[in-house]
A = this chain, B = another copy of it.
């Protein structure tokens, strides 16, 4: 490290950017050209071990040579220049691209997929898909009425029905209006914005380590499942039927909160019972860092979820869906671009590298090593940190207070390690899939140093 972060050059650029837009969240400016692998280099020349990776969206580290090949291959040039309106005019190779990228790593039982630009657009369109399917079920085969056609355009029932999406306390699903209505993390994400008054259920507050509190945690999950059921009944009774439940396999932004497979199995059962749909939001958990492409596959659901949403590490947004969720008319899950073939092309490269280099296994192996080291620190500094948790390299640890968490994060950054915060007092690690044990050692050494200095 050459300077503290943000250094003088970053500060100067933050000042300039401040004339253009709000910069209060800007951490530092980056020299992307000279960032490599797990190291992000800031404009002041600091090389920082990046365990946050652009809010968990970098898979293969910075400037991976295979991505460079993909961009520089003259055969691909046209993909980066010409952006199609994919819903009208897909490119010659579009079906192959989808098959070789997204479909080649599809969650078990799901073989349909649509692309979108980002996670929020993906969830918005996932919601539209379930609203259509739910109403189709209610109609039982009859066609839209003229009254429905007229009223929907004016935003009122019966064409625009008061259907709802059930979400969870501390869940995050995006920042556009429908996504935000299913998001319940921090007030700065929501204050002063109108929202849909949709049902919000409790997420189980589990005791850690999970294997030591099996009975207590089962009782807590049963309590939450009962709450979900009663909310679904309540909203149905006021004609605001829950068309879908949306949940993250691991509540990430909300604080890396876990549940057991039993809870997700229970949610799926409740969806079946109420003829609702089950949307699993893998925007942050998907893409491999847990040691699996899709973390919900660890839940042993008897049937696939109805929709699995992705973005971030997938490079493209979008969602997988079942036959039942297929829109029955064209142009309903739609916008101008509907994703971007150049991103899907890069995703194909990523998928190939993950397979060739067995990176899911790398995440398991490095993750186990990293977790062991973090547990040792947890035992050494029980007054400062606890609840080390997480599959693969998708790790988290809680800090005693929010203020101490923020201080530790700043100290880590000034000593050359970038991590993310989540929830009130959690540190989340979102390493790339190419993290090695020697990177884990660097983090553990610096973390230990920070914790020691704070004793």
A residues lining the B interface (CB < 8 Å) = 13, 16-17, 19-33, 35, 40, 43, 54-55, 57-58, 62-64, 67-68, 71-72, 75, 77-85, 87-92, 94-95, 98-99, 103, 111-114, 117-121, 124-125, 127-128, 131-132, 134-135, 144, 148-150, 152-156, 159-164, 174-178, 181, 184-198, 200, 311-312, 315, 326-327, 329-337, 342, 346
Q: Is the CB–CB distance between A32 and B80 below 8 Å?
A: no
Min CB distance, A325 to chain B, in Å?
10
Other-chain contact of A335, B125, B134, B175 (Cβ < 8 Å): B175
A346 to B29, CA, bound (A): 21
Give me 16 A-to-B residue pairs in the complex whose CB atoms sit less than 8 angstroms apart, sorted by A's number.
A20-B113, A21-B326, A26-B87, A29-B89, A30-B92, A32-B78, A57-B85, A67-B80, A117-B118, A118-B336, A132-B192, A144-B187, A152-B191, A154-B200, A188-B331, A189-B332
Nearest CB on B from A429, distance (A): 16
Q: Bound state CA distance, A155 and B192, in angstroms?
A: 10
Which 4 A/B pairs are nearest by Cβ-Cβ distance?
A24-B330, A25-B330, A177-B178, A155-B195
Contacts of A62 in B (CB 8 A): 81-82
Select A92's contact among B13, B72, B87, B186, beta carbons within 8 Å: B13
Known pairs A57-B85, A153-B186 / 14 extra A-B pairs, C-beta < 8 Å: A13-B94, A17-B95, A19-B112, A20-B113, A23-B330, A24-B330, A26-B90, A68-B81, A72-B72, A80-B80, A80-B342, A81-B346, A164-B194, A196-B196
What number of copies of this chain does the assembly contain?
Answer: 2
Q: Is the CB of B121 within 8 A of A153?
A: no
Q: Are B176 and A177 in contact (CB under 8 A)?
A: yes
Q: How far is the CB of A303 from chain B (nearest CB, A)?
A: 20
Specify the chain B residue showing the minimal Cβ separation from A65.
Answer: B81
Least Cβ–Cβ distance between A167 and chain B, in angstroms: 10
* Chain B residue at smallest Cβ distance from A158: B192
Residue of B nearest to A61 (CB): B82
Chain B residues with CB under 8 Å of A159's CB are 187, 190-192
